[in-house]
Chains A and B, each alone.
Chain A
């Protein structure tokens, strides 16, 4: 079975450019998460969706960040305009939420998108 698929794996861009990261969750999973990982702060939740609906976006740093999930098999995280401090590894993860979306089942992570903003 294919796991969580993220693209691109690596992105180098210049400050001010728009960046779009993509994620395909595991088929059948109903929860999708976007995380950011840095050496200083570790893994931080940015936003998560349940049944394609954003549930908690309190971790999104600021208005420059936006995320969408137009259908059950695709999500994007967009940064516009990008800044050097956005440089990090961005992970997408998916899970099958227990019951009616309450509780988190096992979380499956993608391989991450390493973003470098110059």
Chain B
């Protein structure tokens, strides 16, 4: 069964600190992995998309890594800001179609 699991479920950190969110998947065949940021009351916004051959991809203070062998991905946030408070959703694309498998998300709260 295609599944995407994220951890932790929620996280509270102090402004300025770094944090890492985890994503494990059992999806076959794998096409690509995406991270989305969803602010409260808004739609998800894409942060990164990584294919099988990409290990790392950065978007400003966000850096995603992918280990296709262990089927794990992480999203590292550097020097967190209050505006980073949001839900972060890991999504894996299956095969060559339009099927996406969504994780439940990690709720991040950055405190001042």
Contacts and interface: CB of A to CB of B under 8 A. Distances in A.
Q: Is chain B a partner of chain A in the same complex?
A: yes
Interface string A52-66: 000110000000000
A77 interface: no
Interface bracket on B: 20 to 34
B105 A107 contact: no
A42 B104 contact: yes
Interface in B39-68: 41-46, 49
Most buried by A among B41, B98, B103, B104: B98
B98 A43 contact: no
A106 interface: yes
Interface in A66-118: 91, 93, 97, 102-104, 106-112
Contacts of B46: 106-108
A50 B98 contact: yes
Interface of B: 31, 34, 41-46, 49, 89, 93, 96-100, 102-105
A102 B89 contact: no
Interface bracket on A: 20 to 34
Sort A-B residue pairs by CB-CB distance and give the 7 closest, nearest first: A109-B43, A43-B102, A102-B96, A104-B98, A42-B104, A109-B44, A111-B43
B28 to A, nearest CB: 16
A109 B45 contact: yes
A112 B43 contact: yes
A91 B100 CA distance: 15
Interface of A: 4, 31, 33, 42-45, 48, 50, 55-56, 91, 93, 97, 102-104, 106-112
Contacts of A108: 46
Given A42-B104, A43-B102, A111 B42 contact: yes
Contact of A110 (B43, B98, B103): B43
A103 B29 CA distance: 12
15 contacts: A4-B43, A33-B98, A42-B103, A43-B89, A56-B99, A103-B98, A104-B93, A104-B97, A104-B98, A104-B100, A107-B100, A109-B43, A109-B44, A111-B42, A111-B43
